[in-house]
């Protein structure tokens, strides 16, 4: 399959109001793509679009909550009607939920699955005719480090991201005869708002959750712009799988070597990293 050509094509990006989505929008604009951007936060979405329009790109925005299936279907129909040919679809939007399976309600669990998986499948299904109509089109889904490993306290998130991974891998085989490239992305510790914006399960101890969130956020060191460039280079080269950072590559390797026992190794490594971070913080604090 030949290299992907960004120039002059229409790219759809979900979750484009910040983080990796906004960085992808800027990277695509620099490469000459016209943009269709989706997000539930209309104000931040328009701020990103304004920056891109000022740089001379054609940008359309749609404010939509992807947890709402009928609203997602309506937006997808609008996009398909207005843009019968789409060169790139990036399913980037995602949400997180803190808590063990027995600490969250099923509605809370389902909210994560609705946004992280159902919306991905729904938008892809609705826009697939437009991708097939554009020679050399490409599809990207953003899975996660937690689509490679499944730690405790992340049952909903991991379930949704493993589902995205399986969905994407099967689609890669199905769409290859149509000349459509398919990439599944597994970001490691990218510095986005997903941890800060995560919902807390109804049965979760808030103090413990906040402590865990602070420790987790210290591991988010990769700039979203760096992550976006890695993704777009992977798309250009038609890579089927893109892992971002050692925080994704090392767990992936451990999961391959020790499919069951890797959890203990990662837990020990995480505790060691937390101790190092706390020691560094104390060293920087004046006496």
More confident residue, 172 or 218: 172
More confident residue, 245 or 213: 245
Counting residues of the chain whose pLDDT is more than 90, the rounded percentage is: 69
Range 259-268 average pLDDT = 68
Alpha-carbon distance of 161 to 148, in angstroms, equals: 8
Q: How many other C-beta atoms are found inside a 10 Å radius of the C-beta of residue 99?
A: 23
How does DSSP classify residue 38?
E
pLDDT tier at 262 (50, 70, 90 boundaries)? Answer: confident
Number of H helices, E strands in the chain: 10, 9
- What element of type H or E holds 276? helix 262-284
pLDDT tier at 206 (50, 70, 90 boundaries)? Answer: confident
More confident residue, 12 or 285: 12
Q: Is 62 designated active site? A: no
Residue with tokens 């889904």: 141
- What element of type H or E holds 53? helix 42-54
pLDDT score of 278? 54
| CB contact at 8 A, 234 and 24 | no
> For the chain, first and last CA: distance in Å?
61
Task: Please pick, among 6, 157, 162, 167, the residue that the annotation labels catalytic.
Answer: 157
Contacts of 203 (CB under 8 A, 6+ apart): 99, 102, 103, 104
CATH class of domain segment(s) 10-245: alpha beta
- What element of type H or E holds 131? helix 119-132
Q: For residue range 26-50, what is the model confidence (pLDDT) as tens digits?
A: 999 999 999 999 999 999 999 999 9
| CB contact at 8 A, 136 and 4 | yes
Instruction: Report which of 201, 240, 198 is spatially closest to residue 216, judged by C-alpha positions.
Output: 198
Query: 14 pLDDT exceeds 70?
Result: yes
Alpha-carbon distance of 25 to 228, in angstroms, equals: 9
- Take residue 170 and report the two structure tokens written for it: 């099967």
Instruction: Report which of 62, 63, 59 is spatially closest to residue 29, judged by C-alpha positions.
Output: 59
Query: 274 pLDDT exceeds 70?
Result: no
Range 66-85 average pLDDT = 97
Alpha-carbon distance of 86 to 171, in angstroms, equals: 17
pLDDT tier at 275 (50, 70, 90 boundaries)? Answer: low
How does DSSP classify residue 178?
G
pLDDT score of 211? 63
Alpha-carbon distance of 126 to 220, in angstroms, equals: 33
Average pLDDT score over the chain: 89
pLDDT score of 215? 61
- Take residue 25 and report the two structure tokens written for it: 């929008």
Alpha-carbon distance of 147 to 158, in angstroms, equals: 6
Range 87-110 average pLDDT = 95
| CB contact at 8 A, 245 and 190 | yes
Residue with tokens 């190092």: 276
Q: Where are the domains of the chain?
A: 10-245
Alpha-carbon distance of 3 to 26, in angstroms, equals: 20
Q: For residue range 102-134, what is the model confidence (pLDDT) as tens digits?
A: 999 999 999 999 999 999 999 999 999 999 999
User: Can you give the length of the chain in residues?
Assistant: 287
Residue 185 has φ and ψ, to the nearest 5°, of: -110, 135
Alpha-carbon distance of 92 to 94, in angstroms, equals: 6
pLDDT tier at 287 (50, 70, 90 boundaries)? Answer: very low
Residue with tokens 């103090």: 207
């Amino acid at each position: 399959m030949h290299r992907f050509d960004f120039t002059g094509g229409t790219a759809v990006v979900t979750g484009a109001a910040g983080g990796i989505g906004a960085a992808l929008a800027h990277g695509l604009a620099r490469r000459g793509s016209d943009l269709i951007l989706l997000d539930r936060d209309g104000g931040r979405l328009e701020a990103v679009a304004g920056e891109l329009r000022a740089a001379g790109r054609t940008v359309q925005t749609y404010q939509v909550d992807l947890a709402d299936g009928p609203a997602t279907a309506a937006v997808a129909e609008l996009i398909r009607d207005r843009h019968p040919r789409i060169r790139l679809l990036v399913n980037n939007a995602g949400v997180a939920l803190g808590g063990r399976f027995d600490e969250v309600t099923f509605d809370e669990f389902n909210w994560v699955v609705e946004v992280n998986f159902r919306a991905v499948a729904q938008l892809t299904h609705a826009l697939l005719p437009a991708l097939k109509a554009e020679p050399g089109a490409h599809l990207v889904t953003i899975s996660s480090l937690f689509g490679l490993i499944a730690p405790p306290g992340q049952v909903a998130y991991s379930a949704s991201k493993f589902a995205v991974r399986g969905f994407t891998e099967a689609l890669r085989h199905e769409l290859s005869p149509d000349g459509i490239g398919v990439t599944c992305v597994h970001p490691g510790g990218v510095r986005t708002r997903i941890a800060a914006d995560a919902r807390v399960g109804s049965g979760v101890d808030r103090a413990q959750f906040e402590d865990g969130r602070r420790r987790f956020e210290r591991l988010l060191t990769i700039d979203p712009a760096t992550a976006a460039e890695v993704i777009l280079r992977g798309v250009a080269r038609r890579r089927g799988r893109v892992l971002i950072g050692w925080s994704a590559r090392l767990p992936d390797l451990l999961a391959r070597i020790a499919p069951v026992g890797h959890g203990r190794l990662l837990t020990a490594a995480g505790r060691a990293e937390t101790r190092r971070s706390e020691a560094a913080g104390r060293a920087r604090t004046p006496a």
